[in-house]
Amino acid sequence: MVIFLANIFNFFVGILLGAGAILPGVSSGVICVIMGIYDKLIDSIFNLFKDFKKNFFYLFPIGLGGIFGVFLFGNILKTLFNIFPIPTSFCFIGLILGSIPILIKKINSEKTFRLRYLLYTLISFILGIAFVFLENRLNISNAETVNFSVLFLILSGFLMSIGIIFPGVSNTLILMCLGVYPTYLNSIASMELAILIPIGIGVILGCICFLIIMKFLLNHFYMQTYYSIIGFTLGSVLVLYTPIAFNLTGIISLFLLVICFKLAKNIG
């Protein structure tokens, strides 16, 4: 029963990761941090063949949920962002903020805290803000789909994987900078495999490379890496934040923020 519930939870996490791969401003890496699986996910992927059965059965429901998240539930979340943008954004803000105290407690229980680590948080937070301004300056509403070469699509997927592995870096921001995002979004809606397969190949290759880098950083600079992750994660809140008025929508948004904040703390 416990294993079954764990698989259901991992499937749900996969759905969120899949949705995060298509929603502007949402980092799949941040979702992993929010759900408290970031370390374990990296270890399972990195050590897949060392204990194949154990790691495969951990990763399979996440991967399956990710497929559902991209092709099915991603559209639901996209609709929620379009119809109820403020309440939906505040749900994610609550989840992000609620995950931070748990993350700090976790890393400080494993290593000794040093005041200088906050410098890494500050620098990564500033970079996160820079990403927010860059994403806001990129106008994709009038962008048109373009016929890209297979090699460029593979490169785009490779670079997109940075946002999957490194929390706080938006997958979609990278694709926007490359001009691929409208094509990517339309190919998902129309199941255009000629676009999705090369991007998918690039994502797989990129994840392998950046997983090695992240694993090295966690092994040799654990505290510095995680305090940088905290800064990027906090910076991602600004992507989602929208000023609210004290009307019904504002009250509901604040209520959802509190509920999601407590939910994230309980999950952690």
Residue 83: Cβ-neighbour burial (10 angstroms; 0-12, 13-18, 19+) = exposed
Give per-residue pLDDT as tens, 161-208: 887 787 766 676 677 767 787 788 778 777 788 888 999 999 989 988
Q: Is the pTM of this model over 0.75?
A: no
If one counts every other C-beta atom within 10 angstroms of the C-beta of residue 136, the result is: 12
What CA–CA distance (Å, rounded) separates 152 from 180? 9
Predicted confidence band at 237 (pLDDT cuts at 50, 70, 90)?
A: confident
b/e for 242-254, b at 16 or more Cβ within 10 A?
Answer: eebeeeeeeeebb
Pair 17, 62: CB distance under 8 Å: yes
What integer pLDDT is reported at residue 252 of this predicted model?
Answer: 92
The 10 Å Cβ neighbour count of residue 140 is 14
pLDDT in tens, 43-90: 888 887 788 888 888 889 998 988 888 777 656 766 777 788 889 888
Q: How many CA atoms lie within 13 A of 234 on its CB side?
A: 18
Q: What is the pLDDT of residue 254?
A: 92
pLDDT digits (tens, 9 = 90+) for 117-161: 899 999 988 887 776 676 666 554 444 555 788 899 999 899 888
Q: Amino acid letter at 161?
A: S
Domain boundaries, the chain: 2-267
Tokens of 5: 């519930």
